[in-house]
A and B are shown apart, each in its own frame.
Chain A
Amino acid sequence: MLKKTSPISVILVSSGSRGNKLLFRYPFQRVSENTSSATSKQRSPYVLNTSGDSIEDQDGDSRFSDIILATILATKSDMCGKKFELKIDNVRFVGHPTLLQPPHTPQANADASVINCMHNLSRRIAIALQHEERRCQYLTREAKLMLAVQDEVTTMTETDGSPQSPFRQILPKCKLARDLKEVYDSLCTTGVVRLHINNWLEVSFCLPHKIHRVGGKHIPPEALERSLKAIRPYHALLLLDNEKALLAQLPLDCSPALVRLIKTCSAVKNLQQLAQDADLALLQVFQIAAHLVYWGKAIIIYPLCENNVYMLSPHANICMYSPLAEQFALQFPGHDLPSMLAKFSLPVSLSEFRNPLDAPVHEAQLIQMVVWMLQHRLLFQLHTYVCLLVPPIEEEPGLREEEPPLVTRVTGRSLSTPSALSFGSPTSSDDMTLTSPSMDNSSAELQTGGDSPLNKRMTETLLASLTEHERQTILRVPAAQNPEDLRLFARLLHYFRGHHHLEEIMYNENMRRSQLKTLFDKFRSVLVITNHEDPIISLFQTPPD
């Protein structure tokens, strides 16, 4: 629910020698709140306050007068420097009391991670304010202004008799007040906050819960972080905005590495190639990529190539009236989204999707459409996973009929050997020999040269992790008679647990797709193969349970 990630208001409270003061709050209290609270419904004390109530009670905060807010939010000094959390009925206050001044952000019943993020924001603002206070007493000056306006308004009310909100008057006079208003507005809409405290210190923050929404649910930051940690050099970064738009959003003093990366990145380039082309260390590329993903500006995919197989995402909105359909029609005149999506009802590879007889221009457009659909989370990619499972002891594999052919793709055709892409960069992501894998990932390079005792021993060691029955069954496979094949099988054994897809094995072991497929086929009586999305990056296409 969108409301659960938006704050109810932003409050600034101070506690000092002159007592506790509410300096500013936004949105302002409605002055006629006395009458409205009288008509609010009676609550039986035994009714459970469910999260549903907090949505109707958006103005719950208006039940709290300025004075009481000042009292409850101005904490004692031993609560300073730490997260402050207070819940009153169904309103929750989160802040970071700072020995100078505490900004607070109240909220409805919300996820613990949303509260943590809000606290993070409070803390950042507090740190910036503390800095500016030390440097030029910024906060004291702003506080004086706010209190002065409040006093003015109080005297005016006493003489005129017409109640007014002091905070409304504060806004035009006080930059800090405007900043706090902006925090509130930004959090409620885009979830991205960017401020310049005292026109000097930048505070930027994003609420991942607002930014990362797939299929109506948000992706929790913890899941996001887990996925980001699992990114590999063979993954690629797909920008969600076009390059120009993205560059325009960056602050003036942003790192040149970021700019270079954005300019160099492409859907067909993996992160390793990106590092080389942008002249950056791989680690730096990882960090910048993670940063862009966290801010909702990019997602992680497997780089586009001929052999990639895509399928319609179960969460894709295929309704003919969806805003996506309209956008697609504008972007690609003459084509309609549902027809395109229907083509991905069965898994289809990029090479099948393009018609080689079409003019090259048309071909390029088809690729752009695929990129567009990936950006809008309509497609996901299928990968092949392998698992070692030997037939149980009672069964003699020889007595069984011939195993059904490995179902590696639904069409049943074997994949063609990788060819260089005819679009984009000259290197095909499928041709892994161009990218050298990190040595600690590939298993030990075995000596070439047949059946040497060293090789035999190595093979035996690798197979030693299996049970006797498993070992025997594998050795009985006809292909095991060929020592090269057996050696390769043994070397790749640790990938056959269903957690490493084909492309990962190719990258780590510096092998071609065709080599692997042939091996799988030879040993199909002890292997089971399936295709599904990569659970690590599927986070971006489908929300986690």
Chain B
Amino acid sequence: MNKNSVLNMGSYRRIDCIFFSEFHPTLGPKITYQVPEEYISRELFDTVQVYIITKPELQNKLITVTAMEKKLIGCPVCIEHKKYSRNALLFNLGLVCDARTKTCALEPIVKKLSGYLTTLELESGFISNEESKQKLLPILSTLLEELNVTGACTLPIDDSNTIHLKLIEQRKDPLVVQEYDVPVFTKNKDHFTKSQWDLTTQQILPFVDGYRHIQKISAEADVELNLVRIAVQNLLYYEVVTLVSIFQYSNVYCTTPKVQNLIDKKCLQEECIHYVSKLGQRTNLRDVFQLYCGLTPGTTVRDLCSRYSHQLQRVDERKLIQFGLMKGLIRRLQKYPVKVVRDERSRPPRLYTGCHSYDEICCKTGMSYKELDERLENDPNIVVCWK
């Protein structure tokens, strides 16, 4: 991830205030330090203090409370020892955000901070010592600024302790990667320093060209199939690649409603023309749009090439299909064989159940499309569904 994405992330999850709250032996629960000053009103603190300095049962839990348009995230800590007045030290270092902010990514930060402070207190009485406690104020300031601007913070506290924090963006779980899926880079490959990636990924990177499917990559890169799947899934997670299907001239595609984006969005038009034009040439919007609209159920890529040969003079059809799939302008129609005659005597079908596409069957059995077609065409008990 480059710095730009981190910057964008920071502003999306802006921390409005960082506070340090504790149970004062005479004054009770109070906010000792907060940056910026006076951010949390008396009223707000009164409403939520029961969730900040808590009963024992809630200690060491991540507590997020929403009140008065604000969200407060904290982790109350209790350290018991005879040396403390009331035999226990209670404190909580928390963050305040706008109530609408999604704060899941901030939770590990809060947990980590509570851990750091606990360690500091146990090792050197950092908090209970009035002098060293004052260092908290500049620490809170630095934390607030760095977390908001860069999403990360490295802060030495004393000779033996340094705080390392990083906001990790939460992402969706990636799809399962199948052997017949084709990974294609969504960003330019050269933008990445190879050494950033693990060894397996480095080994397969040269073979990720947007045309080779997982099984082929595994064979040619000489890496075990499951390792390739995991490596690609990792790349998927970071949105560095996306998955498309195997390209063949016999493939059938059709347009989705998103194809209209090509008309509506100028930047997409530019990107598309740049991506699909043959080397040294430049196609135009009408040709490209006509080509995409020429993809219909029942039309193979081969058919498209013969019908639209003029438009394809300046367009690389493989790139056209790749771009269309990546941006969701078109989708692939896969063939699914289903056995229909339920003969009690025959064995239940293993692959012809309607759950496995031609891509999958050919990949698993090593048959070619043509061979599979020939086999099934002559079988009156099999119907084929396209979807």
Specify which chain A residues have a CB less than 8 angstroms from the CB of B190 in the assembled complex.
none
- Interface status of A499 (Cβ within 8 A of chain B): yes
A-side binding surface: helix, strand, loop or mixed? Answer: loop
Best-surrounded residue of B104, B299, B331 (most CB of chain A within 10 A): B104
- Interface status of A385 (Cβ within 8 A of chain B): yes
Contact residues on B (Cβ < 8 Å of other chain), bracket: 35 or more
CB-contact partner of A538 in B257, B308, B384, under 8 A: B257
CA distance A339 to B108 in the complex (A): 53
- Determine whether the beta carbon of B308 is less than 8 Å from that of A68: no
- In the complex formed, the residue of A with least CB distance to B114 is A45
Q: B238-257 CB contact bits vs A (8 Å, 1 = yes)?
A: 00000000000000001111
Residues 42-98 of B at the A interface (beta carbon under 8 Å): 43, 46-47, 50-51, 55, 57-58, 60-67
| Contact A49-B354, Cβ < 8 Å, known A318-B336, A318-B385 | no
- Determine whether the beta carbon of A45 is less than 8 Å from that of B383: no
Contact residues on A (Cβ < 8 Å of other chain), bracket: 35 or more
CB-contact partner of B259 in A85, A338, A532, under 8 A: A532
Residues 163-212 of B at the A interface (beta carbon under 8 Å): 168
- Interface status of A135 (Cβ within 8 A of chain B): no
Specify which chain B residues have a CB less than 8 angstroms from the CB of A411 in the assembled complex.
298
| Contact A88-B62, Cβ < 8 Å, known A46-B111, A336-B340, A391-B286 | yes
Specify which chain A residues have a CB less than 8 angstroms from the CB of B340 in the assembled complex.
320, 336, 338-339
- Determine whether the beta carbon of B353 is less than 8 Å from that of A321: yes
Residues 271-301 of B at the A interface (beta carbon under 8 Å): 284-286, 289-290, 292-294, 296-299
CA distance A57 to B36 in the complex (A): 37
- Interface status of A71 (Cβ within 8 A of chain B): yes
Specify which chain A residues have a CB less than 8 angstroms from the CB of B255 in the assembled complex.
530-532
| Contact A320-B353, Cβ < 8 Å, known A45-B115, A389-B289, A410-B299 | yes
Specify which chain A residues have a CB less than 8 angstroms from the CB of B290 in the assembled complex.
389, 528
- Determine whether the beta carbon of A83 is less than 8 Å from that of B115: no
Specify which chain B residues have a CB less than 8 angstroms from the CB of A86 in the assembled complex.
51, 63-66
* Total CB contacts across the A-B interface at under 8 A: 163
CA distance A391 to B112 in the complex (A): 61
Residues 332-358 of A at the B interface (beta carbon under 8 Å): 336, 338-339, 341-342, 345-347
A104 CB → nearest B CB, Å: 13
CA distance A382 to B200 in the complex (A): 45
- Determine whether the beta carbon of B257 is less than 8 Å from that of A392: no
Best-surrounded residue of B108, B285, B296 (most CB of chain A within 10 A): B296
- Determine whether the beta carbon of A318 is less than 8 Å from that of B284: no
- Determine whether the beta carbon of A389 is less than 8 Å from that of B384: no
- Determine whether the beta carbon of B115 is less than 8 Å from that of A407: no
- Interface status of B339 (Cβ within 8 A of chain A): yes
Best-surrounded residue of B46, B256, B299 (most CB of chain A within 10 A): B256
- Determine whether the beta carbon of B286 is less than 8 Å from that of A497: no
- Interface status of B338 (Cβ within 8 A of chain A): yes
- Determine whether the beta carbon of A345 is less than 8 Å from that of B297: yes
| Contact A89-B383, Cβ < 8 Å, known A407-B294, A531-B255, A532-B257 | no
- Determine whether the beta carbon of B328 is less than 8 Å from that of A545: yes
Specify which chain B residues have a CB less than 8 angstroms from the CB of A163 in the assembled complex.
none
Specify which chain A residues have a CB less than 8 angstroms from the CB of B355 in the assembled complex.
318-319
Specify which chain B residues have a CB less than 8 angstroms from the CB of A30 in the assembled complex.
none
B332 CB → nearest A CB, Å: 9
- In the complex formed, the residue of B with least CB distance to A312 is B387
Specify which chain B residues have a CB less than 8 angstroms from the CB of A112 in the assembled complex.
102
Specify which chain A residues have a CB less than 8 angstroms from the CB of B62 in the assembled complex.
49, 87-89
- In the complex formed, the residue of A with least CB distance to B54 is A72
Spell out B's residues near A (CB within 8 Å).
43, 46-47, 50-51, 55, 57-58, 60-67, 102, 104, 107-108, 111-112, 114-115, 168, 254-257, 259-260, 263-264, 284-286, 289-290, 292-294, 296-299, 307-308, 310, 328, 331, 336, 338-340, 349, 353-355, 383-387
9 new A-B contacts, CB < 8 A, other than A84-B66, A88-B58, are: A46-B111, A88-B62, A88-B64, A313-B387, A341-B385, A346-B386, A389-B285, A389-B286, A404-B294
- Can you list 21 A-B pairs, Cβ within 8 angstroms, ordered by A? A45-B111, A45-B115, A49-B62, A68-B58, A75-B47, A87-B62, A87-B65, A338-B340, A341-B385, A342-B383, A342-B385, A345-B384, A345-B386, A392-B286, A401-B310, A407-B294, A497-B260, A498-B259, A498-B264, A532-B257, A533-B256
